[in-house]
C-alpha cells in the first residue's frame, strides 16, 4: 500500500513540474504590435498571430466617420507583405488629363509592418485589429506618431517621375477604437489629424489605459486613413495589450 501511495505522489510531483508556472507579476495575456526593439512583438507572418489581423478598407478621407464594418482581411503576397485584395479606380488628379480620366490602384504602397508602420495607399485605409479571446480587465499602452515625411507639405500638385501627378502631401487621420461585440458604435480611444500639428507631424505620443473591461469577441482597432493622398504619411504605432493576473 505504501509503495502504491509513493508511486502516486511521485506521478503528481512530476506532472506539476511539467506544467508552466507563472510568476506573480507575469501577465496571462500579452499582445504587442510595433516597438522595433521588442523581441516579443507580433511578427505578423500569418493572420491571427497574438490575435492580430491585418485589414483594409476602400473607405477613405472620412476621419472619425470611418466604418469598421467595411474592413476586409488583407491578402499576403509571395514575399510575405500584406496588401488589399482588390483594385480601386480613382479620378485622375493630373490637371492635363481628359475629363473623367481615372487611375487604378492595387495598394502597391500599402504597408502593415511588424515594427509599427500602418500605412495605407491612395484609395485605401489600413487597419489592424486585435480580437479579445479571454474576458478580463486589460491594461493598454499606446504610443504613436505620424505625419509628412517629406518637404512636400504644400498645396497644389507635384509632378513625380514619368509625368505622374498626385495631390501634395495632405497628412493622415490616425485613430484607435474599441469595437464591442453586439454594439453598433465603437468607442474611440484616439483620433489625430497629422495636418493639424506644427510641421504637419504628430510627435511621439504615449498614453496608458488601465483596467479596460473587455469581453471575448471585443476588438481593438488601429486605423490609418490617408485622406486623398497616401504618400508621405508615415503613421507609426506601438500598442501593448496585457491582462494582469
Give the CA radius of gyration of the chain: 23
pLDDT at residue 21 in the model: 43
CA angle 59, 63, 65 (to 5 degrees): 70
- Residue 199 DSSP symbol: G
Tell me, what's the pLDDT at 147? Answer: 82
User: For residue 92, with 0-12 CB atoms within 10 Å meaning exposed, 13-18 middle and 19 or more buried, which class applies?
Assistant: middle
pLDDT at residue number 170:
80
- What is the model's pLDDT at position 27? 76
The pLDDT tens digits for 97-108 are 888 899 899 998
Is residue 201 a contact partner of residue 148, using CB atoms and an 8 Å limit? yes
Q: What is the pLDDT of residue 137?
A: 97
- Asked whether the CA dihedral 229, 230, 232, 235 is positive or negative, the reply is positive
Give this prediction's pTM: 0.83
- For domain 26-243, the CATH architecture is Sandwich (2.60)
Q: Count CB atoms within 10 A of the CB of residue 71.
A: 22
Angle (CA) 145 149 150, round 5°: 155
**How far apart (Å, rounded) are the C-alpha atoms in residues 237 and 228?**
21
Q: What are the Cα distances from residue 213, in Å, to 123, 185, 188?
A: 34, 16, 14
Q: How far is CA 10 from the centre of its chain?
A: 49
The pLDDT tens digits of the residues spanning 169-203 come to 788 999 999 999 999 899 999 999 988 887 788 88
pLDDT < 50 regions, the chain: 1-22, 151-153, 155, 161
Domain layout of the chain by residue ranges: 26-243
Amino acid at each position: 500500500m505504501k509503495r502504491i501511495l509513493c508511486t502516486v505522489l511521485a506521478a503528481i510531483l512530476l506532472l506539476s513540474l511539467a506544467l508552466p508556472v507563472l510568476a506573480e507579476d507575469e501577465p496571462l495575456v500579452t499582445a504587442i504590435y510595433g516597438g522595433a526593439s521588442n523581441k516579443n512583438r507580433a511578427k505578423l507572418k500569418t493572420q491571427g498571430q497574438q490575435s492580430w489581423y491585418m485589414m483594409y478598407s476602400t473607405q477613405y478621407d472620412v476621419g472619425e466617420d470611418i466604418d469598421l464594418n467595411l474592413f476586409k482581411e488583407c491578402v499576403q503576397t509571395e514575399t510575405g507583405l500584406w496588401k488589399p485584395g482588390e483594385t480601386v479606380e480613382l479620378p485622375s488628379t493630373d490637371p492635363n488629363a481628359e475629363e473623367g480620366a481615372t487611375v487604378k490602384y492595387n495598394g502597391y504602397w500599402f504597408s502593415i509592418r511588424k515594427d509599427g508602420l500602418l500605412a495605407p495607399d491612395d484609395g485605401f485605409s489600413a487597419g489592424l485589429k486585435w480580437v479579445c479571446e479571454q474576458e478580463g480587465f486589460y491594461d493598454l499602452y499606446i504610443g504613436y506618431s505620424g505625419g509628412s515625411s517629406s518637404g512636400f507639405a504644400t498645396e497644389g500638385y507635384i509632378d513625380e517621375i514619368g509625368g505622374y501627378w498626385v495631390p501634395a502631401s495632405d497628412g493622415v487621420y490616425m485613430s484607435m477604437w474599441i469595437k464591442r461585440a453586439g454594439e453598433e458604435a465603437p468607442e474611440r480611444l484616439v483620433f489625430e489629424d497629422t495636418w493639424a500639428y506644427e510641421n504637419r507631424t504628430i510627435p511621439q505620443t504615449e498614453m496608458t489605459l488601465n483596467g479596460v473591461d473587455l469581453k471575448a469577441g471585443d476588438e481593438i482597432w488601429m486605423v490609418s486613413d490617408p485622406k486623398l493622398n497616401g504618400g508621405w504619411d508615415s503613421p507609426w504605432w506601438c500598442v501593448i495589450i496585457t491582462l494582469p493576473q
